[in-house]
């Protein structure tokens, strides 16, 4: 590293410090353009829904439903909404790191337009996720199904971006050891979590539950990552990011929302590093070559390996390869060969006999890894 680059880095860090963990006031697109490119790991966006409400809606008891009729949710036409969507998605894409991902939440009023535009701009959809509401608002007129969900789209920056963060093992563990599905069940934001002003009115009409953001950030970010929310509103994204040990950047136009979010986030107590750590699986473990087991004396050259049912056996050679008759190769290649398959995980396929029982050689790899961890500690 040269001194010049070091200065560059320092200036970048310094520039970062100005906007990390802050709320930028102003228009979403203009603010996005002020941020450095490729600087954000995860974007969560809850854009205006373009609700096309005609007149007021009344409950059966004639009470008026407090509809989302704020000025920021009014668009003249689909064309105008599409142009707005395209503009902010483009600006968001510029600030996203190459391996960053974006989440957008919406309802049937806008989500189809957002999804199509995401695809048009080159984003690559990874999943659509359904937030099933335990307590949705009823359909008061009885003319449709009760609208009981919202839709989230999760997308990477490009089709070719394979290095995005997905904490698969953590998600699976949190779901009783079953893969996390695309249908999530959460209550809507009510009670003590719902921000109210001094009159007892809700601060923001569409405040999202923290549990939803927590799952999103636990699934697709790492501690220390930068999380951007271009429609910050009451700051749920910032509050959850801070609590989970992620940095946040919020963009918001309305001062009343900024005030509420600022106070809210200030009151958040971050969890400790141990609590926010992401559970990693085998993928996160350091690589160990089979040969190093032989070198370490955990398996002697000449030892015999077999599969779990003792259908095939192979001999360990001093160079860390296996041999069956005249054939030789890696533990993986020979495992594939004897089974007639394209591929094979030799670590779990091959076993060694210890005290009369067959044990996968993966258990020996564990020994090596524990030794490595012990040295590092």
Binding site for a second copy (CB under 8 A): 58, 62, 78, 107-109, 111-116, 118-120, 125-130, 132, 136, 138-139, 142-149, 151, 153-154, 166, 168-169, 171-172, 175-176, 178-185, 219, 281, 283, 339, 341-344, 374-377
What is the 3-state secondary structure of 232-294? CCCCHHHHHHHHCCCEEEEEECCHHHHHHHHHHHHCCCCCCHHHHCCCCCHHHCCCCCHHHHH
| Near DNA in 89-108, by CB under 7 A | 107-108
Q: Which does 341 bind (CB under 5 to 8 A by kind): DNA, a second copy, none?
A: a second copy
Q: Which of 26, 163, 270, 301 is in the footprint of DNA by CB under 7 A?
A: 163
- Token pair, residue 213, equals 């953001």
How far is it, in rounded angstroms, from Cα 230 to Cα 48?
Answer: 11
Site string for DNA, 304-343 (x = CB under 7 A): -------------------------xxxxx---------x
Among 96, 88, 90, which residue's Cα sits nearest to residue 40?
A: 96
183 binds, among DNA, a second copy, none (CB under 5 to 8 A by kind): a second copy
- C-beta of 169 vs 193, nearer to a second copy: 169
- Contact assessment for residue 68 and residue 49, using Cβ atoms and an 8 Å cutoff: yes
Owner of token pair 């076993």: 351
* Partner whose binding site includes residue 116, from DNA, a second copy, none (CB under 5 to 8 Å by kind): a second copy
Residue pair 61/119 in contact by the 8 Å Cβ criterion: no
Binding mask 176-195 for DNA (x = CB under 7 A): -xxx-------xxxxxx-x-
User: Which partner from the list DNA, a second copy, none does 47 bind, CB cut-off 5 to 8 Å by kind?
Assistant: DNA
Instruction: Name the one range near DNA by CB under 7 A: 25-33, 84-92, 210-218, 282-290.
Output: 282-290
- Taking the least distance from each CB to DNA, the nearer of 8 and 353 is 353
Cβ proximity of 96 and 102 under 8 Å: yes
Residue 16 or 330: the one with the smaller Cβ distance to DNA is 330
Sign of dihedral through CA atoms 223, 125, 29, 266?
Answer: negative
Are 251 and 231 in contact, with CB atoms under 8 Å apart?
yes
CB closer to DNA out of 21 and 312: 312
- What is the closest distance, in whole angstroms, from the C-beta atom of residue 262 to DNA in the complex? 20
Which CA distances in Å does 253 have to 27, 204, 236, 247, 284? 6, 13, 16, 20, 41
* 183-186 and 40-45 beta bridge pairing: unpaired
Under rule CB under 7 A, which residues in 25-54 are in contact with DNA? 46-54
**Residue 256 binds: one of a second copy, DNA, none (C-beta under 5 to 8 A by kind):** none
Asked whether 175 and 183 are in contact (CB, 8 A), the reply is no
Nearer Cβ to DNA (19/290) = 290
């Amino acid at each position: 590293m040269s001194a010049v680059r070091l200065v560059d880095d320092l200036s970048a860090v310094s520039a970062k410090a100005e906007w990390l963990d802050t709320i930028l006031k102003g228009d979403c697109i203009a603010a996005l353009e002020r941020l450095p490119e490729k600087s954000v790991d995860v974007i969560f966006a809850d854009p205006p829904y373009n609700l096309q409400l005609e007149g007021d809606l009344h409950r059966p008891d004639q009470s008026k439903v407090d509809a989302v009729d704020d000025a920021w949710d009014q668009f003249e036409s689909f064309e105008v909404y599409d142009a707005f969507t395209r503009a902010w998605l483009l600006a968001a894409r510029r600030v996203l790191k190459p391996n960053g991902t974006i989440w957008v939440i919406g309802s049937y009023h806008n989500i189809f337009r957002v999804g199509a535009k995401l695809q048009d701009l080159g984003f690559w959809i990874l999943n659509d996720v359904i937030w099933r509401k335990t307590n949705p608002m009823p359909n008061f007129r009885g003319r449709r199904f009760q609208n009981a969900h919202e839709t989230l789209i999760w997308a990477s920056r490009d089709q070719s971006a394979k290095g995005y963060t997905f904490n698969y093992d953590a998600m699976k563990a949190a779901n009783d050891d079953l893969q996390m599905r695309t249908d999530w069940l959460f209550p809507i934001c009510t009670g003590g979590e719902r921000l109210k002003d001094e009159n007892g009115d809700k601060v923001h009409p569409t405040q999202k539950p923290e549990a939803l953001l927590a799952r999103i950030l636990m699934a697709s970010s790492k501690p220390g990552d930068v999380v951007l929310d271009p429609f910050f509103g009451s700051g749920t994204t910032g509050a959850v990011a801070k609590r989970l040990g992620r940095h946040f950047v919020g963009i918001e136009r309305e001062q009343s929302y900024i005030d509420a979010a600022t106070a809210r986030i200030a009151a958040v107590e971050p969890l400790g590093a141990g609590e926010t750590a992401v559970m990693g699986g085998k993928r996160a473990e350091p690589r160990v070559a089979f040969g190093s087991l032989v070198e370490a004396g955990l398996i002697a050259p000449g030892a015999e390996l077999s599969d779990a049912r003792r259908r095939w056996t192979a001999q360990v050679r001093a160079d860390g390869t296996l041999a069956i008759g005249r054939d030789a190769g890696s533990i993986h290649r020979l495992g594939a060969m004897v089974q007639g398959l394209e591929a094979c995980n030799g670590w779990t396929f091959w076993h060694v006999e210890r005290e009369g029982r067959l044990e996968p050689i993966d258990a020996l790899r564990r020994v090596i890894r524990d030794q490595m961890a012990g040295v590092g500690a």
